[in-house]
Chains A and B, each alone.
Chain A
């Protein structure tokens, strides 16, 4: 089954304790992206990657790191989490094809992170 797998689904952590949220896709997609979703603010892009070893900042990159060492994996790293990073996080992937039948991002199931 074609899918994007995120882990963990739920995470409660303490301020300053480094954590990694994993993301893996099995569709051989070139593009991957991380979003956070907050009430009243919608989905905001954190980082994106256009291929292996190619990453760039989205709209809200502060406090986050990413890496793309393999095509299928795109982990999100919080080196020193703070309470304002409490949010619902989504990983997404898409093919690079941009024709008229492009079907956009496939999203992972989400990770609900609470930083106390």
Chain B
């Protein structure tokens, strides 16, 4: 089975940097997703990490440590539109389609 933990809520200031952490325990691991979900909308893909290290995509970066079962999503130069839930999800080895999602971290960006 898989267990994914991430903070329930976070608040950050417009223009600042915020780091959203995700820890996981899994019997087999292929990769880790981050998705963004605005209230009432569908999740949208942000990143997929397979190898250890940091991957940067514009204002968003995602880090993975496979040995520690740990990932984080880093959001820079926060904008009001970044207020959303951020979902961490794990893709297991073997059963590629049994992707398990964490509960999500609701981020509120304040002026």
Contact = CB atoms under 8 A, between A and B. Distances in A.
Interface of A: 31, 33, 35, 40-45, 48-50, 56, 58-59, 90, 98, 100, 102-110
B45 A42 contact: no
Given A105-B45, A110-B40, 6 more contacts: A48-B98, A100-B51, A102-B48, A104-B33, A104-B45, A110-B41
B97 A48 contact: yes
A107 B48 contact: no
B47 to A, nearest CB: 9
Closest 6 pairs (CB-CB, A-B)? A107-B42, A42-B103, A43-B101, A48-B97, A104-B45, A42-B101
Contacts of B96: 31, 98
A89 to B, nearest CB: 11
Interface of B is mostly: loop
Nearest to A32: B97
A31 B99 CA distance: 12
B42 A109 contact: yes
Nearest to A99: B50
Chain A CB within 10 A, most for which of B33, B48, B104: B48
Interface residues of B, number: 24
15 contacts: A31-B96, A33-B99, A42-B102, A48-B98, A56-B97, A59-B98, A90-B42, A100-B51, A103-B48, A104-B35, A105-B45, A105-B99, A106-B45, A108-B42, A109-B42
Contacts of B99: 33, 45, 105
A92 to B, nearest CB: 8
Chain A CB within 10 A, most for which of B44, B45, B89, B99: B99
Nearest to B45: A104
Interface string B37-60: 000111111001011000000000
A33 B97 CA distance: 8
Contacts of A102: 31, 48
A109 B35 CA distance: 14
